[in-house]
A and B are shown apart, each in its own frame.
Chain A
Amino acid sequence: MHKQNDDVRIHLLDASSNTLFSNLLISEKDKIESLSLSSNQIVKSGNSRVAKINTDHCTLYVISSNENYVKSSQKFKTLVSTYEASLESLYTTYMQMQETSNRNTSRLLHNVVSLNAHNIQEFFSLIPQSELMKQQQQRQIIFVENKIKNNLREVAKILLRMAKNNAAIKSEFTVFNKLIAKQQNLRIDEHNVHKVIRTVIDMFFLDLIEKEIRVNFISYTDETYGYFDFECVRVALYHILQNTVKYALNKTDLNIHLQEDHSKENILIRFEMTSLRVLENERERIFEENYSGDLAHRTGKKGGGLGLYISRQVLKLTKGELQFYPSIMCQTQKGKKMLQDEFEENNFVIILPKKLS
């Protein structure tokens, strides 16, 4: 048996008669147009009833061919009045949802478009479009081949930068799917943590070379396996390394420690770096959405304040954590010599389960 409401369809317009939502059949749309109802009018037309409700912000048509509603004008009136009573709040909710969804979609689009823009420019920086246009079809490969032969070093860098941009685009999709669209499709599986780190850090070598940051892997355990969703951890690693490239002091070391915790149930990936100081009252705030550190503001390196927030959220999905620990030994001789005022030895620690829970 059909539920009555399955046979009720609505058509919602804003004040400028733009359709906001409609599930009408084409024949019903035609009917509404031909009827040209006045505000708050209810009519019976053929085998259906139609109502038009107006408020300050919107217009709603309600139409049904359900025989209960067609037979009894009172039942249809009651139905229409429930729509009428909730129309304004329905409209407000609809607009809010629309706005949130637009904001998320446009953030994704903005980031992906700009990363893709970089990829486009990388390619054409090597192979000028104006020259490419002049080539005949048969000559195209040879033309590109010659460009590559004459710029081997540059081609290598271009490829690496493109690979990094691709990785960044993938991170954007992961964040969108898992955090915003809530389609979490997690695949918790056993992974070699060292290998997983390499898949991400390899994309950053070029940036790290430019800053003359040396990377050291320090392993305290033979068991560098963990159980987690690869994509989630990858996104967190991506943002932490992006932060390192942005905020670490040139010519310092990035030490990546792989350790077990006391319980031996978790594996810890500790990124030890000399980077922009995080003030004491900011140690938790840096994980808040849209928060950028005070020093980042003062040094003009302020970002969107999303990287660490996103990292912590995606790690939570895969039962991991992200913690910040300031330096434990700034007082050492080595520390004093090395550290400039606004820099400090900082630790970002990713904690991942070693067992399937």
Chain B
Amino acid sequence: MVWDWVVANKEWVLSGVGVAVIIIFKDFIVSLIKFLWNRLFGESNQKSIPVANVPPSVTNQIIIGNQSVNQDSSVPTQAPVISTQAPVIPTQANSMISMADLKKKTHILFVDDKTFKIVKTLVDEGWIHTKLVKDITTLDSPLITGNDIFFIDIQGVGTKLFHNEGIGLANIIQERYPEKKVILYSAETTGNRFDPTLRKVDAVLEKNAEPYEFIQLVEKFAREISNA
């Protein structure tokens, strides 16, 4: 069937256009051949990978190109990573405002009795209105009204106002300003998890979360606030 088609269109197939098409769809054709080969000759008990048969849209090579790594520290070598760009920039349904604008207009406050370097990381990432305070001691504080996203440590903050520390503070911000986003974070993984307030806040994060997780939440909530 395929062969008949090839014979009937042999001039076209052998022309430059045909060759170009073959080259363009090379990966697709190879995977098709693989698939057919497997169907015909593959072991009957062998599972096949349940993927849609689509040619790759983007190929992105990251490392290392057979470079030998220079052990001598006095001679600089090339950095091994060639491309750090994510290959696909997906379109979010509601991303009317660009992330760059969101970074400039979103105010983020960390409430933590100890310094926490994620604040610097966020500022370096462009979230320029990110600050840390040791505590919030009055409920009408501009620290509450002037910020959009709150990261609150469960332990050691809000001690003057609440018996349950950070949870109490988070609770009151959430109640008075439902449009603001409140994230509780804690080094403790066991305690308090039955406190119903924990389920009321927008997110709970472990203190040992990576910058990626903080940034993912900030991006998500900044977008939600701006779309609201």
Chain A residues in the interface with B (C-beta under 8 A): 151-154, 167, 170, 173, 177, 181, 183, 185, 187, 189-192, 194-196, 198-199, 201, 205, 208-210, 212-225, 230-231, 251, 257, 259-262, 264, 268, 270, 323, 325-326, 328-329, 331, 347, 349
The answer for the CA separation of A4 and B190 in the assembled complex, in Å, is 30
> Within 8 Å of chain A (Cβ to Cβ): is B6?
no
Binding site for A on B (CB under 8 A): 34, 37-38, 42, 46-52, 54-70, 73, 80-81, 86-88, 90, 189-190, 193, 203-206, 208, 210, 212-213, 216, 220
User: What are the residues of chain A within 8 A of B64 when measuring CB–CB?
Assistant: 205, 208-209, 212-215
B63 pairs with A214, CB closer than 8 A: yes
Asked if A230 and B88 make an inter-chain contact with CB atoms under 8 angstroms apart, the answer reads no
Complex contact A220–B56 (CB within 8 A): yes
A259 to B51, CA, bound (A): 7
B88 touches A224 (CB 8 A): yes
Q: What 4 pairs across the A-B complex have the smallest Cβ distances?
A: A153-B73, A217-B60, A219-B58, A259-B51
Q: A192–B190 contact, CB under 8 A?
A: no
Chain A residues contacting B65 (CB-CB under 8 Å) are: 214
How far, in Å, is A251 (CB) from chain B's closest CB?
A: 7
**A209 with B34: in contact, given A219-B57, A325-B49 (CB under 8 Å)?**
no
Identify which of A217, A222, A230 contacts B62 (C-beta below 8 A).
A217
Residues of chain B within 8 A (CB-CB) of A154 are 73
Chain B residues, CB < 8 A from A223: 90
Q: Which residues of B contact A153 (CB under 8 A)?
A: 70, 73
B86 touches A192 (CB 8 A): yes
Tell me the bound Cα distance from A124 to B38 in angstroms: 54
A269 to B75, CA, bound (A): 37
Report the minimum CB–CB distance from B30 to chain A (whole Å).
Answer: 9
Q: Which residues of B contact A270 (CB under 8 A)?
A: 49, 51
Contact between chains at B63 and A151 (CB < 8 Å): no
- Whether the Cβ atoms of A185 and B204 lie closer than 8 Å is yes
The interface residues of chain B lying within 8 Å CB-to-CB of A257 are 51, 56
What are 6 A-B pairs with beta-carbon distances under 8 A? A195-B212, A208-B63, A220-B55, A268-B50, A325-B49, A347-B49
Question: Is chain B's binding surface mostly helix, strand, loop or mixed?
Answer: loop
Which residues does chain A contribute within 8 Å of B58, judged by CB atoms?
217-219
Q: Are B60 and A181 in contact (CB under 8 A)?
A: no
CB-defined contacts of B68 to chain A, threshold 8 Å: 212
Interface SS of A by simple majority: mixed
Distance between B201 CB and nearest chain A CB, rounded to angstroms:
12
Contact of A199 among B47, B60, B210 (CB under 8 A): B210
Closest to A230 in B: B213
A220 to B53, CA, bound (A): 9
Given contacts A194-B86, A217-B87, A270-B49, contact A205 B60 (CB under 8 A): no
B88 to chain A, nearest CB (A): 5
Q: Is the CB of A185 within 8 A of B193?
A: yes
Tell whether, in the assembled complex, residue A214 and residue B189 are in contact, meaning their CB atoms are under 8 Å apart: no
**Nearest Cβ distance between residue A192 and chain B, in whole angstroms?**
7
Contact across chains for B54 and A210 when beta carbons are under 8 A apart: no
Q: Are A220 and B52 in contact (CB under 8 A)?
A: yes
State the Cβ distance, B142 to closest chain A Cβ, in Å.
30
| CB of B42 to closest CB in A, whole Å | 7
Give bound CA distance, A218 to B58, whole Å: 6
Contact B52 A262 (CB under 8 A): yes
User: Across the interface, which residues of A come within 8 angstroms of B206, CB to CB?
Assistant: 231
- Does B51 contact A262, Cβ atoms closer than 8 Å? yes
Q: Which residues of B contact A329 (CB under 8 A)?
A: 34, 37-38
In the docked arrangement, what's the CA distance between A349 and B212, Å? 23
Residues of B within 8 A of A212 (CB): 64, 66, 68
Is B73 in contact with A268, judged by CB distance below 8 angstroms?
no
Contact status of A192 and B90, CB under 8 A, knowing A208-B63, A221-B54, A268-B51: yes
Decide: A194 and B59 in contact? CB cutoff 8 A: no
How long is the Cα–Cα vector from A350 to B200 in the complex, in angstroms? 32
Whether B90 pairs with A264 at a CB distance below 8 angstroms is: no
Contacts of A328 in B (CB 8 A): 34, 37-38, 42, 46, 48-49
A229 → chain B closest CB, angstroms: 11
CA A224 – CA B38 in complex, angstroms?
Answer: 27
CB neighbours (8 Å) of A187 from chain B are 203-205
Contact call A268/B88, Cβ cutoff below 8 A:
no
Provide the residues of chain B in CB contact with A251, threshold 8 Å. Answer: 66
Of all chain B residues, the one with the shortest Cβ separation from A219 is B58
Give CA–CA (A96, B38) in the complex, Å. Answer: 50
Q: What is the CA–CA distance of A335 and B102 in the complex, to the nearest angstrom? A: 50
With A205-B64, A212-B66 given, name 17 new contacts (CB 8 A): A152-B73, A185-B189, A185-B204, A187-B203, A190-B220, A194-B86, A194-B87, A214-B61, A214-B64, A217-B59, A219-B58, A219-B88, A220-B51, A225-B90, A328-B37, A328-B48, A329-B38
